Structure 1
Amino acid sequence: MLKKFYKFIILPYTIFLLYLMFFGMGRLQYEDNIVRIKPVFSTIWFIHETISWFDIIKIVLGNVVMFIPFGFLGWVFPKLKNLKTLIITFVSAIVIIEALQYFSRLGVFDVDDILLNTFGVFLGWQIKRILEIKFSKFVVE
């Protein structure tokens, strides 16, 4: 039952997330193309320069939590049940999305976003494994 719900909701969720990544939260087009390629440093800088803890939690934690559902993609695409395959596929896709943000100037190409998003997928994959083991009768197609 849970798998059926997931299969129904993941496409609209993905479209919503793409909207947020390019147009949401009052996003405007930057004048310059921006790249942040120093892992972890841009997040530390963001935390240091941001006064509002709410903004810090919203952005940093949001970059993890919003991608947890993609850890369940093995339910839709059986080849993505394997963690290594899932991570390679996801990183490939998120790098393309980050590049589109860069070229459209509707965001920043940020390595930290890739790392945080991928960590979210990993957490989702772990949660999926736990659900499949502990609640197999509810997860069944």
Structure 2
Amino acid sequence: MSEFHTRLKYKKYVNVIFLFYIFMLAIVSFWGISIFQTRIHGNIGDVSHNINIVPFHTIETYLFNFQHYNFDTWFYNTFGTILVFIPLGILLPLVFVNLRNMTMIVLLSLVVSLIIETIQYVTLLGVFDVDDILLNTFGSILGFLIFTLIIKKSKR
């Protein structure tokens, strides 16, 4: 098989994985969180408590008051939020070759996260939290760093 055909086959697999990831991200972001009926700001249906626009407020609350939350809630709302965006930082530069710089990854992950948070707020399927945007973006940055390390190792 020629190198062109191998790359084309590889590209198809990466595209399928990327689409599957986006689908799973939507499920986790909108329907997966509905199993948690309350979060730090109260009931999901309570619009008055459906927003946090103070940077690091939620992060600080979870990190310094972790004993007040069960482990699943604490982990999901801190590290889970980071982990779910690591694949975005890895997959974006694989799918879109022109997105192989940190600035583009940060901007796109900020936009994707802002869209998710806004839809959660409008649909009442979650809490709009600026800290989620920060943690999601951090996750994408970690993913991009992993991608960069893999590329550097493969060129040796």
Superposition TM-score tier, normalisation by shorter sequence: 0.7 to 0.9
Equivalenced residue count is: 137
Distance between the aligned counterparts of 1:6 and 1:61, measured in 2? 25
Q: Does 1:13 align with 2:21?
A: yes
Q: CA deviation at 1:11?
A: 0.9
Q: CA deviation at 1:135?
A: 2.4
Q: Does 1:111 align with 2:130?
A: yes
The amino acid that maps onto 2:110 is V
CA-to-aligned-CA distance 1:49-100 (integer Å, 9 cap, x gap): 6332343123211111111011121110122111101211221121111111
- Secondary structure of the residue that 1:23 maps to in structure 2? helix
Percentage identity across paired residues of the two chains: 32
Q: Does 1:57 align with 2:80?
A: no
Higher RCO (CA 8 Å, separation ≥ 6 residues): 1
User: Is the Cα–Cα contact under 8 Å of residues 62 and 78 in structure 2 kept in the other structure?
Assistant: no
Q: For 1:120-135, what aligned pairs fall within 5 Å after superposition?
A: 120-135=139-154
The amino acid that maps onto 1:31 is D
Structure 1 outlier segments of 4+, above 6 Å: none
- Secondary structure of the residue that 1:43 maps to in structure 2? helix
Greater shift, 67-76 or 53-62, is seen at 53-62
Unaligned ranges ≥5, structure 2: 1-5, 38-43
Q: TM-score, normalised by structure 2?
A: 0.77
User: Is the Cα–Cα contact under 8 Å of residues 30 and 126 in structure 2 kept in the other structure?
Assistant: yes
Distance between the aligned counterparts of 1:64 and 1:81, measured in 2? 20
Residue number in structure 1 paired with 2:47: 32
Q: CA RMSD in A?
A: 2.3
User: Is the Cα–Cα contact under 8 Å of residues 89 and 147 in structure 2 kept in the other structure?
Assistant: yes
Residue number in structure 1 paired with 2:40: none
User: Is the Cα–Cα contact under 8 Å of residues 79 and 85 in structure 1 kept in the other structure?
Assistant: no
Q: For 1:60-99, what aligned pairs fall within 5 Å after superposition?
A: 60-72=78-90, 73-99=92-118
Q: CA deviation at 1:27?
A: 5.1
Unaligned ranges ≥5, structure 1: none
- Secondary structure of the residue that 1:114 maps to in structure 2? helix
User: Is the Cα–Cα contact under 8 Å of residues 82 and 136 in structure 2 kept in the other structure?
Assistant: yes
Distance between the aligned counterparts of 1:115 and 1:90, measured in 2? 10
Distance between the aligned counterparts of 1:54 and 1:100, measured in 2? 24
Q: Larger C-alpha radius of gyration, 1 or 2?
A: 2
Greater shift, 51-60 or 115-124, is seen at 51-60
Q: CA deviation at 1:6?
A: 3.3
